[in-house]
Structure 1
Amino acid sequence: MSVTNFYDLDLETKPDFVQCMKRIYAWYDGEIIDRVPVRFSAHNEEYDVTDIGGGWKNLRDKWFDTEYQVNRFISALDSHPWLGETFPMYYPNLGPNFFAAAITDSELEFGEVTSWGKPQILKEEDLERIAFRRGNSYYQKIIEMTKYALERCDNRFMVGYTDMHPSLDCADALRGTEDLCMDMFDEEEFVTALTEKCFQAFFPMMDEFHSLLKTKNQLSVSWMNIPSYESMHIPSCDLGAMISRDFFNQFSLPYIKKEVKHFRHNIFHLDGKGVANHVDELLKIEEIQAVQWVQGVGDDKPIMQWVDFIKKIQEAGKSIVVDLEPEGLEAFMDAMDPRGIYLCIPEKEPEQQRRIMDRLLKWK
C-alpha cells in the first residue's frame, strides 16, 4: 500500500494516527521512518479497570454483558495518553477458545480474565459436530459486541476483531492436549481429519468480521493492537511447545501456510521457547512478515538473554515484536540493529513515555 494512500480515521484521541501507521507499515517491511514503533502497554492491562456494572448472576453473564464490556473500555479512554503506537482499540473478546466453542456449540467456563473449554471430541463420530453455525450463541455475541462498539466508537476509538485460534490449537481445545498428543502417535488420520475440520470455518468467519468492520471504515486489527489498512492475522500454534518438530511439520505447518496466504500481513505469535523449537520452518514462510516473541516470565523474562535469537529472526528478513522492561531498554538498544523492531514497554507515566520516544529517535 502506497504511503500516499494512507487515510486518517480522524480519531480525536489519536491525532498522530497516520504518522503512526506509516511507522507500522515501514516496520512490516523491516524499515524505519524516524524511529521504531513503540506501544506502551502491560499484559492484561485491559482488565485493570474498575467495574461499572454489576448484578450478574455469574461470570458468564458479565462476559456476555455487551454494554458493560464496551462501556468499560470507553470509560478508560480519557485516562490514557495514547502515546507512540498505542492505539485506542476495542476488540470483542470471549477468550482464546471462542473459535472452538463457536464451531461446536459447546459451553465455555469463564474466569475473571480468561475462559476455557472442556474436551468435546472424544471419538471419531464427534467430528460431525464441528461446523460453522451462524446461530451459535458465542458467534452471535461477538457479532453483537462488534456492532455495538461500531455504533459507539464515534471517532474516538478503533474496533477490531476477536481472538481467533483455528487449526491445531483449536483441535487441542476440542480434544484435550494429552489425548491429542497421544493421537499423533496412534491415530494420525483422526488428527488430520480433526485439524481440517478445525480449519474449515476460519476463512468464512474472518471474512465476515472484516466485512462488518469495513462498513465503518475500520482497519484490520485484533488483540495485538498492530493494525493493517488491508488485512492482518495473528497465526499461532501454542501446542507446538508440546510436540516434536516432525509432528509440528506434519499437523500444524501446512495449516499455518494456508492461513497466512489469505491475509496481507501476518504476525506469528511465538509463545515461548518451546514453540521457538519450530522457528526455522516458520521463518521460511514468505507470507509471515513478523514474529511476536513472547519470552515468558520469571527467569525467561529478561530480554538480553534472547538477543541472539532476536537477531536470528531479523537476519531471516522478518520483523519482530519485543517485550521489555523500561530498565532494559538502553542495553537492548546498544546490542541491536533497530530495523524491524517493534517495542512493547509497560510504562504508564506519560512523561516517561515521551522520554522513551525521544531516546528512540536517536537509535540508528
Structure 2
Amino acid sequence: PWEGFSSNFPLEAPVDEVLAFFEPGLRTRRALGDGWPRWWPNFGPGIVAGFLGARLEPALDTVWFSSPAPGAFDELHPIRDGSNPWWLRVRELTRAAVERWGRSLTVGFTDLGGNLDILASLRSTRQLLLDLYDSPEEVARLSGEITQLWLGYYNDLYSVIGPAERGTWPWAPIWSPGRCYMLQSDFSYMISPQMFERFVLPDLEACCGALDHAFYHLDGKGEIPHLDMLLSLKDLDGIQWVSGDGAPPPEEWLPLLSRIRAGGKLCQLYVTPEGARKVVRELGGRGFAFYITEPLYPHDAQALLAELKRG
C-alpha cells in the first residue's frame, strides 16, 4: 500500500528497505487534474508527541501514543531532544526519500499534529480535559511551548524537502510552491469556542504566519462551532472538511461548504465521483479541491475530470 505506515517498520530497518516497499505502488499511480506524484513518511497523527517523549505503539493501520511517566503538571517542560529515535527516523527517511525520488515526485511532511493533540498524547486526553479546568495557565504555557517546538521541527524538515524544488505538501492532498501545511486540532472537537480561542487560535496564527499557504483540517461536526474564528484568520488559505465516521458524506453539508467559500477560504474534500458532481452542480467548482476516494479506470477518470471542468 503506497500510503502505509512507515512506523510499522522496525527502527533498525534500513531506510532503503522501507522506501523499496512503497515503490511498486508509486509506479502504478497516475495523477490527473491538479494531482501530482507524491509520497509522505506516515508515522501516525501527531508524531511530535513521540519526538517529545510519548511512547509509540504502532499498529497495522494506525499509531497509538501513550503518555510518559506522570509527573506534576507544572514540571512538564517539553524540550527538543536531537537524539530522539523517532525524530532521527523521520528525518532520515525524509532525506532518503528526497535523495531517491526527489526528481520524480514531491516528498511530503510527516503528520506533525496540532498543539493540543500533542499535549493530549503527553498527558492523556482525559487528563488534559481536566487540566483545562484545573490548570488553564499551565495549558496555555505548554500550548505555546509546543507551538514553538512544532515550528522548529517543520523548519528542519523543510530544509530537507525544499531544496528538491518540487514544492511542498503535508499529509493531506494540498500542494504549494513554497511552505504549506494542513494545520489541525482534533482535540478541539471536545472544547468550547472560548477554549479554542485561548489555547488553539494563537497556535494557528503563529503557524499560518510562518507558512506561505495554510489549510485547516476541520474534522467533524464538533469543530463547526470554531468555524467563524477560522474564517477570521487572514493568513489561512483554506479548510478541509471531513464529516467523520457515521456522518453524512461531505457533499451533504452544502450550507457548511457554502459558508466556507463565502468566508473567502478554499475548500478541500474527500469525495466519491458522485459527491464531486453534486458539489459542482449545487455550488460550482471554483475554489474546491476534490480528492476522489474511489479507484477509477483511466478512461473513467479522464471522463470525470472533463465533466467537472465543464461544471
Please give the alpha-carbon distance, in whole angstroms, between the structure 2 residues aligned to 1:276 and 1:85: 28
Task: Assess if the C-alpha contact under 8 Å between 1:97 and 1:116 holds in 2.
Answer: no
Task: Assess if the C-alpha contact under 8 Å between 1:119 and 1:175 holds in 2.
Answer: yes
Aligned in 2, Cα 1:166/1:293: closer, same or farther, shift over 3 Å?
closer
Please give the alpha-carbon distance, in whole angstroms, between the structure 1 residues aligned to 2:300 and 2:132: 50
Select 1:334's aligned residue among 272, 275, 281.
Answer: 281
Please give the alpha-carbon distance, in whole angstroms, between the structure 2 residues aligned to 1:61 and 1:259: 32
Post-superposition Cα deviations, 1:160-190, rounded to whole Å, max 9, x if no partner, equal 2211114222111111111111111111112
Partner of 2:100: 152
Partner of 2:40: 91
Secondary structure of 1:97's counterpart equals coil
Partner of 1:316: 263
Say whether residues 1:176 and 2:124 are aligned partners. yes
Select 2:19's aligned residue among 70, 94, 100.
Answer: 70
Aligned in 2, Cα 1:63/1:135: closer, same or farther, shift over 3 Å?
closer
Aligned in 2, Cα 1:362/1:239: closer, same or farther, shift over 3 Å?
same
Structure 2, unmatched stretches of 5+, are none
Secondary structure of 1:133's counterpart equals coil
Structure 1 segments (4+ residues) deviating >3 Å: 62-65
Count of residue correspondences: 309
Q: What's the CA shift for 1:267?
A: 0.7
Please give the alpha-carbon distance, in whole angstroms, between the structure 1 residues aligned to 2:217 and 2:71: 28
Post-superposition Cα deviations, 1:8-45, rounded to whole Å, max 9, x if no partner, equal xxxxxxxxxxxxxxxxxxxxxxxxxxxxxxxxxxxx87
Say whether residues 1:46 and 2:46 are aligned partners. no
Aligned in 2, Cα 1:65/1:123: closer, same or farther, shift over 3 Å?
farther
Task: Assess if the C-alpha contact under 8 Å between 1:89 and 1:225 holds in 2.
Answer: no
User: TM-score, normalising length from structure 1?
Assistant: 0.79
Q: What's the CA shift for 1:66?
A: 2.3
Select 1:124's aligned residue among 68, 73, 83.
Answer: 73
Secondary structure of 2:235's counterpart equals coil
Aligned in 2, Cα 1:187/1:334: closer, same or farther, shift over 3 Å?
same
Say whether residues 1:352 and 2:309 are aligned partners. no
Structure 1, unmatched stretches of 5+, are 1-43, 52-57
Residue identity in the other structure for 1:234: M
Task: Assess if the C-alpha contact under 8 Å between 2:216 and 2:240 holds in 1.
Answer: yes
Partner of 2:87: 139
Please give the alpha-carbon distance, in whole angstroms, between the structure 1 residues aligned to 2:276 and 2:207: 34
Secondary structure of 1:359's counterpart equals helix
Task: Assess if the C-alpha contact under 8 Å between 2:181 and 2:214 holds in 1.
Answer: yes
Partner of 2:206: 258
Say whether residues 1:221 and 2:169 are aligned partners. yes
Q: What's the CA shift for 1:323?
A: 2.0
Select 1:282's aligned residue among 218, 230, 234.
Answer: 230
Secondary structure of 2:168's counterpart equals coil
Higher relative contact order (CA 8 A, sep 6+): 1
Post-superposition Cα deviations, 1:286-319, rounded to whole Å, max 9, x if no partner, equal 0001000001233x23334300100000001101
Residue identity in the other structure for 2:73: E
Residue identity in the other structure for 1:74: E
Q: What's the CA shift for 1:358?
A: 0.8
Please give the alpha-carbon distance, in whole angstroms, between the structure 2 residues aligned to 1:309 and 1:63: 46
CA RMSD of aligned residues (A): 2.2
Task: Assess if the C-alpha contact under 8 Å between 2:3 and 2:39 holds in 1.
Answer: no
Select 1:325's aligned residue among 272, 289, 293.
Answer: 272
Say whether residues 1:61 and 2:18 are aligned partners. no
Q: Work out the percentage of aligned pairs sharing the same amino acid.
A: 26
Q: What's the CA shift for 1:60?
A: 5.3
Please give the alpha-carbon distance, in whole angstroms, between the structure 2 residues aligned to 1:63 and 1:82: 33
Partner of 1:8: none
Partner of 1:201: 149
Aligned in 2, Cα 1:168/1:303: closer, same or farther, shift over 3 Å?
closer
Post-superposition Cα deviations, 1:191-243, rounded to whole Å, max 9, x if no partner, equal 11221222221222111111111232231212113211111021111111111
Secondary structure of 1:351's counterpart equals helix
Post-superposition Cα deviations, 1:78-118, rounded to whole Å, max 9, x if no partner, equal 211222223221112221131011123x4211001221211
Secondary structure of 2:286's counterpart equals coil
335-344 or 260-269, which deviates more: 335-344
